[in-house]
Amino acid sequence: MCGFFGVIDFDGNITDSDHQEIARGAASISYRGPDDDSILIRPKSCIGFQRLSIIDLQAPSQPFINNNNNIIMVCNGEIYNYIDLKDELVAKGYKFTTKTDTEVVLHGYEEWGDKLWEKLNGIFSIVVWDERNNELHLVRDHLGVKPIHYFVSGSRIYFGSDYNVFFSQTYYKPEINPDAILSYLSFRYVIGEQTFYNNIKDVLPGNSIRFQNGRIDKCCYWDIPIDIDEDKGEKYYLDILDQKLSKAVERQLMSDVPLGAFISGGLDSSLLLYYMSKSEKNIKAFVTGFEVEGYNEFEYADLVADRLDIQTRKLILNPEEYMSNMEEVISYRGEPVSVPHEAAFLKMTRYMKDEITVVLSGEGADELFGGYGRIFRSPFDYNKHKIINSTGKILKKLINNLDYLQSVGPFHEPIEHFLWRYAWFSENDKKTYLNKEFLNNRQFDDYSLGFIENLFQVVSKKNYYEAMYYIQGKIHLPNLLNRLDRMSMAASVEARVPFLDYELVEFVSRMPIKYKNRWKSKLSRLQSIFSNSEIISEKYDIPKYILKHLAKGKIPESIIWRKKMGFPVPLDNWFNKGFKQYARELLLDNNSKTKSFLNENKLEKLLSSEKLSSNYDYDGKKLWMLINLELWMKKYF
């Protein structure tokens, strides 16, 4: 696991200044790879690399060059099936100089070209500069675990593992992408290819981009399946799920350095610990929490640790530490922070770095198995809303009290309902707290709206329930993976995600959704007519049904059937205890960077309220997001 920064100049005008700037940019992300560094300069290319040694610790640092001296490759990531691929390549006559997994990418490209990406099982961002025909390839792994960004300047393509690298050279001056602000407030991050910076773009998960002769060709080499299998019965899915999850964990235990696991006391991380314990002894497990009651899962972490005979390392984060870390977290992100617990992640990964360099984490299970009950059950609200609105006027008046969406609807299409349901700043929030003129009276930026419309078009022949799994995998998941990568790599720790082994994802995605989110009974489904998804989830249904049944006999029952907690941060509580003054001084200051797009009067009213007490800390999260925007703009602009 590593970091890189480089430039290709198709006109062949690489200079000593480029060498200095690329070296400076690569050094700025040395935390991604503190063990070794290297830089390669040629007439058309200059590529710097920072290595975090995981496999074959004595191997030289990338970039790697083929024997014919005409293909250059850098890869940030792990290729879990590299031994099988290496055996194929050796049989074809290829010679290897290291035992690394990433050298397989170099020779694999020589043999299979673009067909290689489909063969890789792993987490990776790859750059291949093919001097034979002046082709540059940028490739990102199936689900987007590892990042890769780029920008085009005339005949030059710059690419890097981190936004911060781009600010080290003269061809780019940071400029805010104003549309990104709306995307951030709606989705917690900037979705799709666009970023917070004008002209800097992300390579999408499961995509490769080829640059040649002034052309940019984008290809989706893999996508989350949307077709669902004919039902083969619960036993079949349980048996295969057990095999595939066990295999995914086994694959991802490969390492020449110590490894451990994040543990939360929840279902996903506890199940991963079970499968790890089948192969590994003396597992180091790390759990963090907060001092506020209800925001700490140590009790449940201890339960699974005792069951599996695992020693846990515990870390408590207090509010003062949290707020003091915000600017540092932003500096590693190079953008406003997306998830409130990222500061806790950073402190935890630094804490674990003393003992391990690789950590397994449970990301992806919620998106695969329907773990966010309020979201995955929300199509029930939408369908009920549609039925009620299709009735006659008299009957509709009688049953309107069953439909809480009447006050915010009508919703004619699933995408309308999704945008309302998923957005962090609601339509009313945006009208209340934002300067409508600055945002051209828009609720969503045009790019984000078009991106989501395209996703819904892909699943247009699926019902809303089925579509939600694809949408969450494309919208929600990349943000969580970005957070995991940034905060783990900031401490030089590699994070792996067994639930997102692409073979496992393909299997689970084709599984009938009744095995993911199931009604408790026919009576429960009937009772739900008089309720909504906020209340229904885990009261009348069973999210992650098959995963919970897989866990039986493996981890304590109390963990399997406890209500989902996630990793909440007590933001309302902390703002009530003094952080509102910090927010006031930052956001309402005359020199505030965000004041141009905020409604100061409405914000002042929120900050003057006696107490924040919103469900799921929504008010605290809104203030937290605005603080993030302000801190980021102060630092970078």
* Domain ranges, ordered by start, for the chain: 2-220, 234-371+473-518+543-560, 570-637
Query: Residue 5's beta-bridge partner residues?
Result: 48, 160
Contact 74, 62 (CB under 8 A): yes
Alpha-helix residue ranges (DSSP H) falling in 201-318: 234-251, 267-277, 298-308
Give the chain's residues under pLDDT 70. Answer: 1, 292-294, 392-401, 565-568, 610, 612-617
Task: For residue range 364-390, list pLDDT tens digits in order.
Answer: 999 999 998 889 999 999 998 888 888
Q: Round to whole Å and give the CA distance between 72 and 128.
A: 6
**Domain 2-220 CATH assignment equals 3.30.460.80:** no
Give the per-residue pLDDT at 395. 62
Q: Positive or negative CA dihedral for 13, 19, 24, 29?
A: positive
Give the per-residue pLDDT at 321. 78
Q: Round to whole Å and give the CA distance between 466 and 487.
A: 32
CA nearest 123: which of 109, 102, 142, 139? 142
Give the per-residue pLDDT at 398. 61
CATH T-level fold of 234-371+473-518+543-560: Rossmann fold (3.40.50)
Give the predicted TM-score (pTM) of the model.
Answer: 0.94
The conformation of residue 470, written as its DSSP 8-state character, comes to H
Structure tokens at 622: 């809104």
Contact 103, 81 (CB under 8 A): no
Give the per-residue pLDDT at 396. 63
Give the per-residue pLDDT at 559. 93
Give the per-residue pLDDT at 275. 97
172 φ, ψ to 5°?
A: -135, 130
Give the per-residue pLDDT at 565. 64
Q: Round to whole Å and give the CA distance between 76 and 82.
A: 14
Q: Which residue has the tokens 């984060």?
A: 317
3-state secondary structure of 76: strand
Residues of the chain by 3-state class (helix, strand, coil), percent to 5: 45, 15, 35
Angle (CA) 95-117-188 rounded to 5° is 135
Give the per-residue pLDDT at 387. 87
In 474-610, beta strands by DSSP E: 494-496, 517-519, 541-543
Residue 18 makes CB contacts below 8 A (sequence gap 6+) with: 7, 9, 41, 46, 169
* Kind of pairing between the strands at 45-51 and 64-65: unpaired
Q: Round to whole Å and give the CA distance between 493 and 484.
A: 10
Q: How far is CA 543 from CA 48, 60, 372, 375, 568, in A?
A: 45, 47, 8, 11, 19
